[in-house]
Amino acid sequence: MALFISIIYIRYWHQANIAQWAPYNDIEFYKQVKRYPDNELALAAEKSIRRHLWYVSPVLVGLAFFDERLSNDIKLRMVEHLKNPFTGKECKRLGKDINLDKPFEEFISNKTHDFFEAVLHGTGKYSDFLQKHPEQWNNDETFQAALQCVKSIRVVNDTAERGIALAKRFTSAITKQEDQKQFLLRIVHHMTKEVPKKTKAEMKKDVFSS
């Protein structure tokens, strides 16, 4: 396990919070796991990874257009694959029968247009930079606007796990009874609706003014 973590897993764990790297990393991670020499460990890891591939969807794979590590040749092929019809078999996620060993650009389809529409709020302007060569994208205002939006995306899985861990520590520090823990969480949920959110500066102002 120590060898697996140090040789393969640690790199992708550290890069997990970079949204635009996620699609390519997820596929490459899967491929490296399949090539791992310890077959028993590789099979167990592959099975686990496939349970977490729900976020490598035909829409979210559009994040990779902003991955600066991908070559211009790959990005040109990705643009070409935007013309391919969405078959529908992937649906909302990559299922267990999806071939994860195919070239990365083949995960792109016309369904990926939905990603650009969401990032650029339905303006349709993303076609401006997609008509240019990838080496010119960084000089395109629309691309830069979309890139800033992508960079601001928080990787939800890590944030959600931290939130769950924090909630567990909070409730467990007060009571060990499950019904009381649920009661505490309902109280917190109620108070977040009743009490308006304030910045630190606003809270300090309220304290000192009183």
Q: Tell me: the pLDDT tens digits for 132-182? A: 999 999 999 889 988 988 988 877 665 666 777 778 888 888 888 888 888
Give one word for 171, left, alpha or beta, with left for phi > 0 and alpha for psi -120 to 50: alpha
Global pTM reads 0.68
Ranges 13-27, 64-78, 159-173, most confident: 64-78
Pair 96, 186 in one domain: no
Give the tens place of pLDDT for each residue, 136-149. Answer: 999 998 899 889 88
Note the pLDDT of residue 91: 46
Nearest to 129 by CA among 193, 196, 79: 79
Q: Which domain covers residue 74, as residue numbers? A: 2-151
- Of the three residues 101, 119, 151, the one that is the final residue of a domain is 151
Question: What does the H/E/C string look like for the chain?
Answer: CHHHHHHHHHHHHHCCCCHHHHHHHHHHHHHHHHCCCCHHHHHHHHHHHHHCHHHCCCCHHHHHHHCCCCCHHHHHHHHHHCCCCCCCCCCCCCCCCCCCCCCHHHHCCHHHHHHHHHHCCCCCCHHHHHCCCHHHHHHCHHHHHHHHHHHCCCCHHHHHHHHHHHHHHHHHHHCCCHHHHHHHHHHHHHHHHHCCCCCHHHHHHHHHHC
Residue 41 shares a structural domain with residue 68: yes
Task: Judge if 103 and 37 occupy the same domain.
Answer: yes
How big is the chain by its Cα radius of gyration, in Å?
22
Please indicate, yes or no, whether residues 9 and 113 belong to a single structural domain of this protein: yes
Query: Is it the case that residue 86 has pLDDT exceeding 80?
Result: no
Domain co-membership, 70 together with 140: yes
Give the phi and the psi of residue 62 in degrees, each rounded to 5: -65, -20
**Within this chain, do residues 86 and 73 fall inside the same structural domain, yes or no?**
yes
% of the chain residues with pLDDT over 90:
16
Q: Do 57 and 147 belong to one domain? A: yes
Total structural domains within the chain: 2
Q: What is the pLDDT of residue 161?
A: 67
Q: 163 and 187: one domain? A: yes
